[in-house]
Amino acid sequence: MIKKIDRNSSESLQMQLYQALKEWFINEFTTDDLLPTELVIAKESGLSQGTVRIALDKLVREEIIVRVPGRGTQLNQNYKIKLNKYHIGVILSEVDFFNNTIWEYAWINHLEIINGIVENNIPYNVSTEFISEDYLDENSQEDFDGYILWPFIKKETIETLVKPWIQLDYSIDMKQGFKLLAEDVVLKNHQNIGFIGFTSGDRVKVINRVLKKAGVMCLSEDSIYECGGSEAEAYRACIELFQKQSDLDCLICSTDVRARGAIKYIKELHWDIPGKIAVYGFDGTRNYNRSIPSLTTCQFDWKNPGNFAVSNIRNLLDGGKLFKYSPTRGKMVFRNSTRS
């Protein structure tokens, strides 16, 4: 039932009605319900339909309710987002941000995740503050409504948290990405293929499954060289690999960073790219491609984990259930390092 309007109040009738309707709708209706019509509200409140319309228009502008053509008025599916603004602490792990071994080749992706978090501040009505786990204590927690935890946060840090939290997941569907890449290698009719980078996570198995199905020679120990994540290490890996396999017509690199190191070495051999040998990167971001020739890669939307984390903590704080994260899927981006 709508709250009674006080005609003797100093507050305007429109504002009283707006507040009464907001409280009534939120407490007694769901997003599946049709809300009372202007005529019904006018009779319930004893006010004119014009006054009712002004109050309803304000609720529409604030995205608390929505007018559905042919049906009537309903609560906006995301109305809870408009009711409360939350301050979220994003706790950064020492491993991800202060360990050079990981930061050396992952910092671009990490920055994209941060961009994904920041760009969702307005749509989800939150503010975010980034904190190193080393500087979080119980006293500082009063400033936050909840937390997004970066992976690899220390157990002892988590045990100090007194507000709701979720753990960020930034995994990608690596197998799907390498399958896409291998299918393009087959489509471009490459026959002698090499690989540099990490082989963990069934990367090579996925590639070989596609090659074998197409009748192409699979990657073997002689055509694979494992190396670290920097351009310099990829450059050195190519020296070793090409001494054993001088007839390669395609090189798959497990990251874009390694591919740039490979391209540097191949250009010093004065081999034409992609005429003599094609080079594929992997895990490229949307805007980062500084090699010449430009690099064909399997690209992942690294903003997606950040976007998802904000929507998930918002839903948790609003009393909803946690959503399950689905690893980001890749898509091929074709540039000049491979055949058209």
- The predicted-structure confidence for 36-45, as pLDDT tens digits, reads as follows 999 999 998 9
User: Pick from 108, 109, 112, 114: which is nearest to 92 by CA?
Assistant: 114
Whether omega for the bond prior to residue 293 falls within 30 degrees of 0, making it cis, is yes
Summarize pLDDT for 149-168 with one digit per residue, the tens. Answer: 999 999 999 999 999 999 99
- What is residue 78's predicted lDDT score, i.e. its pLDDT? 86
- What is residue 292's predicted lDDT score, i.e. its pLDDT? 79
Contact (Cβ atoms closer than 8 angstroms) between residue 94 and residue 134: yes
Domain that holds residue 48: 13-81
Q: How many CB atoms lie within 10 A of CB 163?
A: 15
Say which residues have a Cβ less than 8 Å from residue 13's Cβ, sequence separation at least 6: 5, 7, 47, 51
Assess whether 150 and 67 both reside in one domain.
Answer: no
Assess whether 310 and 165 both reside in one domain.
Answer: yes
Residue where the block lists tokens 């976007």: 307
- The number of domains in the chain is 3
Listed residues 52, 81, 110: the one ending a domain: 81
Amino acid in position 117: I
Give a yes or no: residue 242 inside a domain: yes
Q: Distance between CA 204 and CA 175 in Å, rounded?
A: 10
Question: Which CATH number do you get for residue 251?
Answer: 3.40.50.2300
Give me the residues of the chain with pLDDT under 70, please: 98-105, 285-291
